[in-house]
Chain A
């Protein structure tokens, strides 16, 4: 993938994540922070499909943005074809792993398996 395409995704995910995290924080504010962190309340949030989808989207956006940022930092620290390939594929693998693990939690809770 061209670097400009990757960076467009990087900037886009940052902007979208800021918007969605703002919605997430506003929704927590309406509920009150102390109550919203209670176990039942968290489960209820995951079971409410639109909100669960938003949390899933935030997870994906932040994972893509964060791991690409990490890739960029690591590429600037050291250079070399083998190292760069390892960093790129390592970051993709870690990103997919985090999204899969987070999604598993969201999906299982949403389906009432927790």
Chain B
């Protein structure tokens, strides 16, 4: 009991606020009222583990509650809080202020997405493209009909696609893509990487239909292999590689 008490005393003696502060610059833009975006600046206290999302929520709590930001899981799983942080697309919940090595943190909405308000952007186009490539296993039979009860795979077969299955649909790759900036009809690295994820899956039989979908004038061939999509992915997915491997199927190097 005495030990518990000492732990409790130790916890209460820990300082709650940090003397360190950063200048948080938040892009503000409401398409209904504003002609262009502007930055609002806030001095926000932070600690070693404070994330950019926490700093934004601190602003909402203490300075300006009208800042629009989308977030959900706070553990880099849902992909909701994607934004441009100090010029690079990142997840706000996954980016610690201390890791940025800067006294100023600038947050802006993701590029290549229409802005709803402030830091929140529309995801309709990304989800449409994702849905277009049939992001599910295409088969004539089902696991319920077969005697095996499940479609077994070897570890080697899983390795072919598992990296691409980590995509959380955060849209950072599409935000970083230079082709998406000019070609509004381009299907995008997220959807293309997911197309490869299912094409490379040994259980899937929908390769031909998926390849037909992406073999379009604004499909896979518009990728210029800048590689920025792979650089910004918080989950280690390599869309640029997936796109090149898909091209291998279309050019006849892979079957």
| Structural contact, B251 and A8, CB atoms closer than 8 A | yes
Contact of B184 among A4, A11, A79 (CB under 8 A): A79
**When the two chains form the complex, which single residue of B179, B183, B185, B217 contacts A3, counting CB atoms closer than 8 Å?**
B217
**Cβ–Cβ < 8 Å partners of A56 in chain B:** none
B251/A75 in contact, CB under 8 A: no
Contact indicator per residue, chain B 210-236, by CB within 8 Å of chain A (1) or not (0): 000001111101100000000000000
Which A62-113 residues sit within 8 Å CB-CB of chain B? 72, 75-77, 79, 84
- Of residues B182, B186, B217, which shows the largest number of chain A Cβ atoms within 10 Å of its Cβ? B217
Q: In the complex, what residues of A have CB within 8 A of residue B183's CB?
A: 75-76, 79
Q: List chain A residues, Cβ under 8 A from B186.
A: 76
Is B116 an interface residue when CB atoms closer than 8 A count as contact?
no
Structural contact, B221 and A4, CB atoms closer than 8 A? yes
Nearest-CB residue, chain A, relative to B211:
A4
The one of A8, A77, A84 in contact with B182, judged by C-beta atoms closer than 8 angstroms, is A77
Interface positions of A from 1 to 38, Cβ below 8 Å from B: 2-4, 7-8, 11
B250 at the interface (CB under 8 A from A): yes
Partner of A76, one of B219, B222, B251: B222
**C-alpha spacing A8/B179, complex, angstroms:** 21
Contact code string B40-80 (vs A, CB < 8 Å = 1, else 0): 00000000000000000000000000000000000000000
CA distance in complex: A84, B216 (Å): 13
Given the complex, which residues of B lie within 8 Å of A72, measured CB to CB? 221-222
Q: Which residues of B contact A11 (CB under 8 A)?
A: 251
When the two chains form their complex, are residues B221 and A7 in contact, meaning their CB atoms are under 8 A apart? yes
The distance in angstroms between the C-alpha atoms of A3 and B223, with both chains bound, is 13
Beta-carbon contact of B217 and A75 below 8 Å: yes
**Minimum distance in angstroms from A10 CB to a CB of chain B:** 9
Q: Is the CB of A84 within 8 A of B251?
A: no
Given A75-B183, A76-B182, A77-B182, do A4 and B215 touch, yes or no (CB 8 Å)? Answer: yes
**Chain A contacts of B179 at CB under 8 A?**
76
Give the distance to chain B from A42, nearest Cβ to Cβ, in Å.
38
Contact of A4 among B182, B218, B222, B251 (CB under 8 A): B251
Tell me whether A4 and B185 are in contact in the complex, defined as CB-CB below 8 angstroms, given that A75-B218, A84-B217 are known contacts: no
Contact call B182/A3, Cβ cutoff below 8 A: no
Complex contacts, B251 vs chain A, CB 8 Å? 4, 7-8, 11
A4 to B182, CA, bound (A): 21
30 contacts between A and B (CB under 8 A): A2-B215, A3-B215, A3-B216, A3-B217, A3-B219, A3-B221, A4-B215, A4-B221, A4-B250, A4-B251, A7-B221, A7-B250, A7-B251, A8-B251, A11-B251, A72-B221, A72-B222, A75-B183, A75-B217, A75-B218, A75-B222, A76-B182, A76-B186, A76-B222, A77-B182, A79-B183, A79-B184, A79-B185, A79-B218, A84-B217
